[in-house]
Amino acid sequence: MAEQFKDSASALASTFVPSKGEQWLSAQRKQGSAAFSGAAMPSRRIEQFKYNNFNDLLKQNISLAGASDQALVAELTAEIPGLNAHRFVFVDGVFQPELSSATDADVSATAFSTADDAQQAVISDLLGKLVPEGDRPFVALADSLLDDGVLLEVAAGADLQKPVQLLSVRTTTGVATPRLLVKIGDGARASVIEQYQCADGVQAFDSAVSELDLGANAELHHYRIALGNDSYTHIGTSVAHQGRDSRYRAYVINTGGAINRLDHVVDVRGSGSNSQMFGAYLARAKQQVDIHLCVEHAVPNCDSQETYRGMAAESGKAVFNGRIQIHKDAQKTDAQLSCRNLLLSNKAELNAKPELEIYADDVKCAHGATVGQLDPESIFYMRTRGLSEEKARALLSYGFINEVLLAMPLEPLADFLRTPMDAFFANQDNS
């Protein structure tokens, strides 16, 4: 079964012509093809895919995304009220300069297809370099079908007042490989929103890769949002590479999706750094959501805090795998992971695996994980105040996830996310 997927993807890669026709990245594609054909396809026997069910995807003959539906593009790229962001838009995996805007001298976006020699050098230096080694079939697939991505650069020392929104929308079926490179210069501060969405009912498949490089003393607020629906398969890999004394804040939201998976790597390579990750993952109907977080503490004197909230309702399946690795030299590391989950239905499934791998002694590491259900006493309390059982449950569920939304400094974005959250909590059939 997996052969069908693999063969069709390999065939696609062998005849692949990028949409803008540029050739200078063909070496990267070749390398990706080779890695993909050598990679084992996801199965329950492979640890990193143990809890995923890829059967629906793997029996597909995959094809490239076709012509975009312009009406859907307009709908999906509507601006978030009050956000006032620099916008860079991908439609069905291809960067759209005409939908993009930057009015700040400190931030520049370059499409791979229009990069000049100097920019090509920057892109080549970064592309694929931050992704840690290991079996990553979907990164290999994205490499083999590498299309027109974008390089976003924030100048050293800049303090961006407006957030930068990188929006990727899907309007047609087929595979897309949106690719982002983000380079935050030394001492710069920026908020970057990486957002993936798909029109309802469109059987789209994303293999998205983003690489973010934080210079020394840089600060990045990274909002990584994938709003799924029952037909959308989104498999993303995000790698943040932290320089000395840098500060990285990630806000990860994965809701719904036929499969909505994020492999999130935070690679702490500069000492004195701080990393804070907040995340929420929600599944209902027959959706699968999955967050694989890996924090690599490679240098001393860093700290990280990870706060995750998961929820599985109806027949949904939620997976959290949070791995903190403390390398030999990473003395004085302080890492704390908390992962709390609600299992709302008897048909739903929740799998959590917080891992610690520690090779240094002078460290403080802890993780806590819980799986439970809504407190019956709280529900009762609300019912005595006149709320219906359903309302009470929705409200409590919302409160559970809200911790992550409240942590977001960008309030307009948090408000925008409350709509899909409300829809998620409403009318659940957890019988």
Partner 1 sequence: MSEHTDLIEAELASEYEAGFVTDIESESLPPGLDEDTVRAISARKKEPQWLLDWRLEAFAAWKTMEEPEWAHVDYQKVDFQALSYYSAPKSQADGPKSLDEVDPELIRTYEKLGIPLHEQKMLAGVVAVDVVFDSVSIHTTFKDTLAKAGVIFSSISEAVQDHPEIIKKYLGSVVPARDNFYACLNSAVFSDGSFVFIPKGVTCPMELSTYFRINAMNTGQFERTLIIAEEGASVSYLEGCTAPMRDENQLHAAVVELVALDDAKIKYSTVQNWYPGDAEGKGGVYNFVTKRGICKGDNSHISWTQVETGSAVTWKYPSVILRGDNSVGEFYSVALTRGRQQADTGTKMIHLGKNTKSTIIAKGISAANSENVYRGLVRIAPTAEGARNYTQCDSLLIGDTCGAHTFPYIENKHNSSVIEHEATTSKVSDEQLFLCQQRGIDTEKAVSMIVNGFCKDVFKELPMEFAVEAGKLLEISLEGSVG
What are the residues binding partner 1 (CB under 8 A)? 47, 51, 328, 331, 341, 343-373, 430
Q: What's the closest the beta carbon of residue 309 comes to partner 1, in angstroms?
A: 15
Question: 100 near 106, Cβ under 8 Å?
Answer: no
Q: What's the closest the beta carbon of residue 355 comes to partner 1, in angstroms?
A: 5
Question: 274 near 301, Cβ under 8 Å?
Answer: no
Q: Which is nearer to partner 1, 111 or 352 (CB)?
A: 352
Rounded distance between C-alpha atoms, residue 59 and residue 197, angstroms: 23
DSSP-assigned letters across all residues of 88-155: EEEETTEEEEEEEE---TTEEEEEGGG--HHHHHHHHHHTTTSSPSS--HHHHHHHHT----EEEEE-
Question: 246 near 215, Cβ under 8 Å?
Answer: yes
Q: What's the closest the beta carbon of residue 303 comes to partner 1, in angstroms?
A: 14
Question: 215 near 185, Cβ under 8 Å?
Answer: yes
Q: What's the closest the beta carbon of residue 265 comes to partner 1, in angstroms?
A: 18
Q: Which is nearer to partner 1, 70 or 373 (CB)?
A: 373
Q: What's the closest the beta carbon of residue 362 comes to partner 1, in angstroms?
A: 6
The count of residues in the chain is: 431
Rounded distance between C-alpha atoms, residue 147 and residue 149, angstroms: 6
Q: Which is nearer to partner 1, 142 or 348 (CB)?
A: 348
Rounded distance between C-alpha atoms, residue 119 and residue 138, angstroms: 26
Q: Which is nearer to partner 1, 133 or 362 (CB)?
A: 362
Q: What's the closest the beta carbon of residue 374 comes to partner 1, in angstroms?
A: 9
Q: What is the CA radius of gyration of the chain?
A: 21
DSSP-assigned letters across all residues of 228-262: --TT-EEEEEEEEEE-TT-EEEEEEEEE--SEEEE
DSSP-assigned letters across all residues of 8-45: HHHHHHHT---TT---TTHHHHHHHHHHHHHSPPP-TT
Q: Which is nearer to partner 1, 234 or 340 (CB)?
A: 340
Q: What's the closest the beta carbon of residue 48 comes to partner 1, in angstroms?
A: 12
Q: What's the closest the beta carbon of residue 366 comes to partner 1, in angstroms?
A: 4
Q: Which is nearer to partner 1, 59 or 364 (CB)?
A: 364
Q: Which is nearer to partner 1, 56 or 357 (CB)?
A: 357
Q: Which is nearer to partner 1, 110 or 341 (CB)?
A: 341
Tokens of 140: 């290999």
